[in-house]
Structure 1
């Protein structure tokens, strides 16, 4: 057994022996409401700073918007490689409390499950990287490079004041990044589809409802025709680039063989998905509506760009002879990925196998995340974190304790492989 393998095993054993402490940390994070909106991360940021401070770790605060705080802490040396561990403190609102079977901010453990809003997305993962980061300091592990903990307050509403803000300001840099976002136990996500959110506004001519359709121009009726054209994006012919075909194929196999309930979702990796999320139009039933707004969420596979989607939509909608405007908002990106052979991917994947004894490999995610921002700055990145995927953003969110412990072991061991490789 090599010295590095011995060191990794020591860290894994330390996580195991201190797992109660790890779960207590994750539960404490859940107990602090950090819903976004409104996005006030003051209380949870103070808690994290206090936890790190107990072990002599200093935390930088960077306020990107009112009461939205980005935290940065680092250990190691400037020479050598630089690894980033990233997580977000915000969670989606708990919603109707009466529909929960337990207090959404209880942070309790019941029958091997940690309960509460953010348990899976992503306070268990956040707790894991904080714990692993502090553990390396507590054990006085000499690192031949630098490990930075970057904790952001704004991911659930698009992330404008989190990761992209830090990258634009040059406050975080690195040779690789791990985001502790939810994933499957053996399958981190190394690629994401692109995002294309837009609002279509269709304009009509108002008039008395008793004269429709002879008089006026009904914006809602025209919007219905427009929606059918928008939905045809699903049938748009797309050629998947050769360099990502392998990733698509392994991801579809994962959907068939691992998450078997997702077998029917295989086509979404190669097509543009279209969700008509909201429709708003008209004033009352006896007035011909002069405006109708439709908000749509499209996710883009490899092989098509945002500009190409815009051109397709304009061509189809212009053919209807309607008056309209298209405005993009929210998530915007083209499909992106990190090679499975990149050192940061190998470090995480190899150590999932080292910890579990099972074959691990990276897959494609059909949604999108903060990972796209790191890739825009040429920082290789992947996502791996504990989760009970069906509970994310829903009522009764939870995560298994054993998943939290496994991921924390991987986080600690992967630092060694990444920073020591080609040091």
Structure 2
């Protein structure tokens, strides 16, 4: 039996440890905001320490800790396995049918906030690294864990913080973000979040619309103009058309409930997320603030989107200001032929005996930061996709085990390439 098969068997034989680990991670509340990762960081360091894996702590913000740990040898290739410890807030507890931080197993599912995004994937990375160390596998290179505390609010204190300081480097990276079991995401759309402030002139509500200038009604006009970005016909570059074609195939044949959304891959999405304006019903509002989330396909940049929006708003003759915030990037991808992609995709097929291929993600992620630093990256992690950021989040136990098998096998292939 070769070393890959020995590792895959070992995952199966020790899967209860993996399941218990994931449950324990979910039971530690790491909602962001507020983003306190102190307790979970201690837990992770203790878990890895049991197998003699040293962890270095890097505090990037108050109560936010980045953890780095490595196994293997210097001088060869280096593979980064990356995961985030923070989760989105659970929200209204009354809308959950179970305690969001219970971390229990029920009917083949692990339940709780972060089960799919992404404590199951994080647990898989930790378990895989510990298992490789425990079994004394001689790696012809280095495997580095990069565990970050801040992804769900934009990631300022996580992956980019580490990369900008040169604390992590590598020849390839896998992020255990949620994905389909057979289809890692090798490309992401760009992101353009901005705040629109519209200014009016206050006055007595009984005199409106003859008096003052209503910032809310001007904001309504602005919103209508902004939403026309969806109608822009984007010229998709030839080099990414094969990726988009296989991604449409995926939405048509695999995640069939998403088939109706397939045009979003080539469109600028636009979501009016929040609106705040006015002080009282009988006062003409002098300010209104709107937060907008646009995701950008290949073929158009943030700069071009802002130019289009500002031109439309200028035509309205309103008084406004635009301030970017949060996620900001252009569309980006890693070629399917890159060694890190082939190592993961080939081993998904190796473990499952089914066809696997990489697809485009219609959202954005930390992957862009690695690509900005010339580190090829893809995302592959266990998930029940409809439950992500939703109430009653969960993940299948069998998918957690599958991904862990891929993680241990892919390390061998990538470092030997």
Per the normalisation by structure 1, the TM-score is 0.97
Structure 2 residue aligned with 1:143:
139
Give the CA RMSD over aligned residues.
Answer: 0.8
The answer to whether 1:219 aligns with 2:211 is: no
Corresponding pairs, count: 417
Structure-2 residue corresponding to 1:385: 381
Q: Deviations over 1:108-149 (max 9, x none)?
A: 111111111111111110000000011110011111111000
- Kindly report which structure 2 residues correspond to 1:337-376, keeping only aligned pairs within 5 A, or say none: 337-376=333-372
Aligned to 1:79: 75
2:162 match: 166
Return the match for 2:321 from 304, 308, 325.
325
Residue in 2 that maps onto 1:14:
10
Work out which of the residue numbers 129, 134, 145 in structure 1 matches 2:130. Answer: 134
Query: How big is the shift at 1:97?
Result: 1.9
Which of 231, 251, 270 aligns to 1:235? It is 231
Q: Following superposition of structure 1 onto structure 2, how do residues 32-181 of structure 1 map, counting pairs within 5 Å?
A: 32-181=28-177
Tell whether 2:182 aligns with 1:186. yes
Rounded to whole Å, the distance in 2 between the matches of 1:106 and 1:209 is 50
Q: For the residues of structure 2 that align with 1:220 and 1:108, how far apart are their CA atoms?
A: 46
Alignment of 1:301-316 (within 5 A): 301-316=297-312
Structure 2: state its 5+ residue gaps: none
1:264 paired with 2:260, answer yes
Match of 1:280 among 276, 281, 285: 276
Q: Are 1:253 and 2:249 counterparts?
A: yes
Q: Distance in 2 between matches of 1:395 and 1:266?
A: 25
How many Å separate the matches in 1 of 2:188 and 2:222? 28
Following TM superposition, the consecutive aligned residue runs of length 4 or more in structure 1 with deviations greater than 6 angstroms are none
Q: 2:201 matched to 1:201?
A: no
Deviations 1:268-327 (A, max 9, x none): 100100100111111111111111111100000000000001110111111111111011
Gaps of 5+ in 1: none
1:98 shift after superposition? 2.2
The C-alpha deviation readout for 1:198-246, integer Å capped at 9, x for no partner, is 1111111111222211221111111111111100000112100000000
